[in-house]
RNA sequence: GCUCCCUUCGUCUAGUGGCCUAGGACGCCGGCCUCUCACGCCGGUAACAGGGGUUCGAGUCCCCUAGGGAGCGCCA
């Protein structure tokens, strides 16, 4: 039997990291077993589904590289099929019309709660004969078995047993005829020949209902794997209020897709002490059975560490490609300055995100607005004038503008002035970078280039002179 | 309230009865390196939720308690 998994988000928001991880697990499982990964959009809630959500979800999947083999299928395009199956169930006596009003149901629930019972429909319309006179439209309810139990042999949670007595006759079609979630899932999983249902464990309680429906449909049962959800840093369930949970937000903040994927796969899953996994390694080593049963908290610090790890160790060309996108976001044209690959090489050990790297590299491509105040007052002082002037002169005559040549000139100037390297490198750094932080000074000069360096040195010298004149 | 799920350092986890005076990773703290910021290297801090069993022996098996989460919709 060929493995077929599906990821079935409802388009009522963006793709959050919990969903992304579920999608990753589904995808890995399919890839590992040479199976098929199906994408299905569960958009039966017309009021809350939006085309925009669908686009961000698709965009997120693409960015992460979780390509699907079939789909996306839209439930809204399968309404006729659902209606047909509902009729079939009705005809076979496996479902029935229910005319209970909202008020009636609310009263029932309130009473059950008051008696400290689990609220559930009591099945009073199961054998209803005459229709109410007001001609109201009924809903359709599924006849859940009254006795016995449902066994779920979950790949992650193990064997879980539910008593049918705990379940009730759930609504499968609304009074407007629209099918409901628990029902469409069953029809789709059946029609799409899904063999493995990998989803969030908030669905574990739905599983026995779905199994009962599937059985009423004479459909083969898929294998289930309920993955625990992701918690926020505070241990609470991750939600829209807990900050950066949107997949695309991670891209915008400068994370690499491979870093997010690596972080996500290690959340609830491990392979010994191994921390770093390429996508190929994930596919090779991942096994749904090794997924933890308990929820895991999202730790932004560790994600940051992984991101930096990939920035540091990936092919600079690859990083440059992503960096280019971030430079563009800052309004910088990466062709108007040094080769981005050189920039990556200079910056990759001092940036945890690409957004940070882009910001810290802007001065290679365009003039900065002004000096960092603290750094300027500390390093651009009158005593720096001599060295800076000497540097200006020496650099102007540099036969070639390379890091090696820069190194030579800066060191020699420091020596002739009897200064430690730091005493000369720092003023120089502030002069060309605008602040006291940058890659090694020789590399920095090489990247800034001759013209910009000399211009900025003049400006710095001018800055010091004007300041001391005022004082 | 009822049903179901979960519980090893702050966090992610290793651990499948003896190899555990509990290992790794992130973070944090200290040191080294050093032209800044970083990187790197070295060292340190820190956990089996509690209580009962079973067993020669329990983080590992069983039971109970506590705590956390989910579900109980004409939402998905």
What is the per-residue pLDDT across A208-238, written as a single tens digit (0 to 9) for each? Answer: 999 999 999 999 999 999 999 898 877 666 6
- A363-408 confidence digits (pLDDT tens): 999 999 989 999 999 999 999 899 999 999 999 998 999 999 999 9
Residue A146 CA to residue A168 CA, distance in Å, equals 8
Assess whether pLDDT exceeds 50 at residue A438. yes
Report CA(A56)–C1'(B4) in Å, whole number: 33
Residue A268 confidence class, pLDDT cut points 50, 70, 90: very high
Catalytic-role residue among A240, A274, A378, A381: A240
pLDDT at A6 over 90: yes
pLDDT of residue A241: 46
Question: What value does the mean pLDDT take over residues A118-134?
Answer: 81
Whether ipTM tops 0.85, in short, is yes
Confirm if A125 and A100 have CB atoms less than 8 A apart. Answer: yes
Residue A154 CB neighbours (<10 A): 18
**Three-state secondary-structure class, residue A68:** coil
Q: Tell me the C-alpha to C-alpha distance, in Å, between residue A219 and each of A79, A189, A193, A272, A421.
A: 19, 9, 9, 38, 77
For residues A175-208, b (16+ Cβ closer than 10 Å) or e, as one string? eeebbbbbbbbbbbbbebebbbbbbebebbeebb
pLDDT at A42 over 60: yes
pLDDT grade for A7, boundaries at 50, 70 and 90: very high
The SS3 call for residue A227 is strand
Q: Tell me the nt nearest to A175, Cα to C1'.
A: B74
Q: Which residue is nearest to nucleotide B1 (CA to C1')?
A: A116
Assess whether A240 carries a catalytic annotation.
Answer: yes
Burial class (CB in 10 A: 0-12, 13-18, 19+), A274: exposed
Q: Which residue is nearest to nucleotide B26 (CA to C1')?
A: A302
Q: What is the pLDDT of residue A191?
A: 97
Q: Which residues, including other chains, have CB under 8 Å from residue A192's CB and lie 6 or more apart?
A: A4, A6, A38, A40, A70, A73
Q: How far is the CA of A105 from the C1' of B42 (A)?
A: 69
The spacing between the Cα labelled CA in A146 and the C1' in B13, in angstroms, equals 43
Going by C-alpha positions, the residue among A257, A252, A247, A325 that lies closest to residue A56 is A247
Residue A412 has what pLDDT? 92
- Residue A396 contacts by C-beta under 8 Å, 6 or more apart in sequence? A454
Backbone region of residue A309 per phi and psi (left: phi > 0; alpha: psi in -120 to 50; beta: other values): alpha
User: What nucleotide is nearest A173 when CA is compared to C1'?
Assistant: B74
Residue A171 (CA) to nucleotide B73 (C1'), in angstroms, measures 10
Tell me the nt nearest to A106, Cα to C1': B73
- Which of chain B's bases lie under 7 Å from a protein CB? 1-8, 10-15, 23-27, 34-40, 68-76
For nucleotide B35, give the residue with the nearest CA to its C1': A422
pLDDT over 80 at A1, yes or no: no
């Amino acid at each position: 039997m060929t493995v077929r998994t599906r990821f079935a988000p409802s388009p009522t928001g963006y793709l959050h990291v919990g969903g992304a991880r579920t999608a990753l697990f589904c995808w890995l499982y399919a890839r590992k077993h040479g199976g098929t990964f199906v994408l299905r959009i569960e958009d039966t809630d017309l009021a809350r589904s939006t085309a925009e959500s669908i686009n961000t979800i698709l965009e997120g999947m693409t960015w992460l590289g979780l390509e699907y083999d079939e789909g996306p299928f839209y439930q809204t395009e399968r309404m006729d099929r659902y209606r047909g199956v509902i009729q079939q169930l009705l005809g076979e006596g496996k479902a029935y019309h229910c005319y209970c009003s909202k008020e009636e149901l609310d009263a029932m629930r309130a009473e059950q709660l008051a008696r400290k019972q689990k609220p559930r429909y009591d099945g009073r319309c199961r054998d209803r004969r005459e229709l109410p006179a007001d001609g109201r439209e009924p809903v359709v309810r599924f006849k859940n078995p009254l006795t016995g139990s449902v066994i779920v042999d979950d790949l992650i949670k193990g064997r879980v047993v539910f008593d049918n007595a705990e379940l009730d006759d759930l609504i499968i079609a609304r009074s407007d005829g629209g099918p409901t979630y628990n029902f469409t899932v069953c029809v789709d999983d059946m029609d799409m020949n899904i063999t493995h249902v990998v989803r969030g464990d908030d669905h574990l309680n739905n599983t026995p209902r779905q199994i009962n429906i599937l059985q009423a449909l004479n459909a083969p049962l898929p294998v289930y794997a309920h993955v625990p959800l992701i918690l926020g840093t505070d241990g609470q369930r991750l939600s829209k209020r807990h900050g950066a949970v949107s997949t695309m937000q991670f891209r915008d903040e400068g994370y690499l897709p491979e870093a997010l994927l690596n972080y996500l796969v290690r959340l609830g899953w491990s392979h010994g002490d191994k921390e770093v996994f390429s996508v190929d390694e994930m596919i090779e080593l991942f096994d749904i059975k090794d997924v933890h049963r308990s929820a895991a908290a999202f730790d932004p610090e560790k994600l940051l560490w992984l991101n930096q790890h990939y920035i540091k160790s990936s092919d600079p060309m690859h990083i440059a490609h992503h960096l280019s996108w971030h430079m563009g976001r800052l309004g910088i044209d990466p062709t108007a300055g040094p080769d981005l690959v050189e920039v990556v090489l200079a910056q990759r050990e001092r940036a945890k995100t690409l957004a940070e790297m882009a910001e810290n590299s802007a001065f290679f491509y365009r003039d900065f607005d002004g000096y960092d105040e603290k750094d300027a007052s500390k390093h651009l002082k009158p005593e720096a004038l001599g060295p800076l002037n000497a540097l200006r002169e020496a650099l102007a005559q540099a036969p070639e503008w390379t890091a090696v040549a820069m190194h030579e000139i800066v060191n020699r100037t420091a020596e002739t002035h009897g200064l430690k390297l730091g005493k000369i490198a720092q003023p120089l750094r502030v002069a060309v970078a605008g602040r006291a932080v940058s890659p090694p000074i020789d590399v920095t000069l090489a990247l800034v280039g001759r013209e910009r360096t000399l211009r900025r040195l003049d400006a710095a010298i001018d800055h010091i002179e004007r300041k001391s004149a005022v004082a």
